[in-house]
């Protein structure tokens, strides 16, 4: 009788973004067996489903084995058989995305919000590996969040666990009322204060100069006082937003992702800026950069299956 080792588990993760689709096949211990990338079909739901199915097939072929399939997406699936909700790739909204993907792939598929996938990836084997609890935040064109507790995503009956970008800026100053209008129909949402475009539009409003976020950071590093002031306002707002979540969830650490997570000053400045707003006697909060960066989207999607 021969004893064969069991086939190594293969987990496929797909990250559906606004402009691109990325995919990865992870083997045992998270080793990358195959990776793919393509432009995302625009304004075409059926083509989006077909593109994801084709990418899964290609990844399985490259990996030499079938895999479980997890997908990170903008917005989320409304529980109870609802379609997609809150996706900024608006052609997905209301569509039975999970059903259509499962039919197309002929296997079960798990879907989660892209910020939740980021948080899960960093909790499994990233910046928060071994931590009891983690709040993962994406600061990119928008502002998403995901909560992980004991290795599992917290996503409640509405499918919006960890979403904080459309809560208001807490402890707002008079000059911050009522805040900029948001696409969600409210004013003063955190997303309109702490995302990349928010930093840029605040800098423009205060200085009359339109600059992308990396240029604002570069100017600040070169000693430009106005750029420094813009970063300081942004860090203060982000600190207040994070402190609000820490007081509710009390995570072991906060991990930042998205384009603005590359701003080094945030890791030095956020903990002391948060401290005055932390309810606990111990006001120290650990804020870390991501281990996996952009790859956290695909890795977290793959980790949606145990």
**In the beta sheet, which residues pair with residue 24?**
13, 35
CB nearer to Zn ion: pick between 138 and 182: 182
Tokens of 48: 């989006």
Q: Is 26 in the site for Zn ion (CB under 5 A)?
A: no
Residue 22 and residue 302: Cα distance in Å, rounded? 12
Contact between 178 and Zn ion by CB under 5 A: the answer reads no
Residue 194 interacting with Zn ion (CB under 5 A): no
The verdict on 189 binding Zn ion (CB under 5 A) reads yes
CA distance 299 to 96: 24
Q: Does 184 bind Zn ion (CB under 5 A)?
A: yes
- Could you say whether residue 166 binds Zn ion (CB under 5 A)? yes
Please tell me whether residue 237 binds Zn ion under the rule CB under 5 A.
no
- φ, ψ of residue 270 to 5 degrees: the values are -60, -45
In the complex with Zn ion, the residue whose CB is nearer, 193 or 303, is 193
| Residue 273 interacts with Zn ion (CB under 5 A): yes or no | no
> Of the listed pieces 5-13, 61-69, 116-124, 174-182, which binds Zn ion according to CB under 5 A?
174-182
Minimal distance in Å, beta carbon 183 to Zn ion? 6
Residues 6+ apart with CB under 8 A from 129: 122, 123, 291
Query: Is the Cβ of residue 238 or residue 253 nearer to Zn ion in the bound state?
Result: 238
The answer to whether 182 contacts Zn ion (rule: CB under 5 A) is yes
**Per rule CB under 5 A, is residue 181 in the interface with Zn ion?**
no
16 in contact with Zn ion (CB under 5 A): no
166 vs 240, which CB is nearer to Zn ion? Answer: 166
How many amino acids of this chain bind Zn ion (CB under 5 A)?
Answer: 4
Classify 168 as helix, strand or coil: strand
Encode 90-116: b = buried (16+ Cβ within 10 Å), e = exposed.
ebbbebebbebbeebbeeebbbbbbbb
Phi, psi (deg, nearest 5) at residue 292: -100, -10
Residue ranges that bind Zn ion, judged by CB under 5 A: 166, 182, 184, 189
């Amino acid at each position: 009788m021969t004893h064969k080792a069991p086939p190594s588990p293969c987990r496929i993760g797909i990250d559906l973004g606004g402009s691109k689709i990325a995919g990865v096949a992870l083997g045992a211990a998270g080793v990358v067996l195959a990776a793919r990338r393509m432009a995302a079909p625009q304004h075409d739901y059926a083509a989006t489903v077909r593109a994801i199915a084709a990418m899964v097939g290609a990844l399985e072929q490259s990996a030499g084995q079938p895999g479980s399939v997890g997908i990170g997406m903008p917005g989320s699936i409304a529980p109870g058989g609802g379609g997609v909700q809150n996706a900024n790739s608006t052609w997905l909204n209301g569509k039975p995305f999970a059903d259509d993907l499962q039919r197309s792939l002929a296997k079960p598929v798990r879907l989660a919000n892209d910020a939740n996938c980021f948080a899960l990836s960093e909790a499994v084997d990233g910046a928060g590996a071994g931590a009891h609890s983690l709040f993962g935040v994406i600061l990119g064109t928008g502002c998403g969040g995901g909560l992980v507790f004991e290795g599992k995503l917290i996503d409640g009956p509405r499918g919006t666990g960890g979403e904080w970008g459309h809560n208001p800026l807490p402890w707002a100053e008079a000059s911050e009322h009522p805040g900029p209008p948001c696409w969600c129909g409210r004013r003063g949402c955190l997303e309109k204060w702490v995302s990349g475009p928010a930093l840029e539009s605040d800098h423009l409003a205060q200085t009359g100069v339109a600059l992308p976020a990396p240029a604002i950071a570069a100017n600040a590093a070169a000693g430009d006082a106005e750029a420094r002031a813009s970063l300081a306002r942004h860090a203060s707002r982000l600190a207040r937003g994070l402190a609000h979540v820490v007081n509710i969830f009390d995570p072991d650490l906060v991990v930042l992702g998205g384009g603005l997570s590359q701003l080094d000053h945030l890791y030095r400045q956020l903990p002391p800026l948060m401290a005055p707003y932390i309810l606990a006697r111990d006001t120290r909060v650990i804020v870390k950069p991501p281990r996996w960066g952009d790859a956290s989207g695909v890795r977290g999607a793959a980790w949606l299956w145990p």
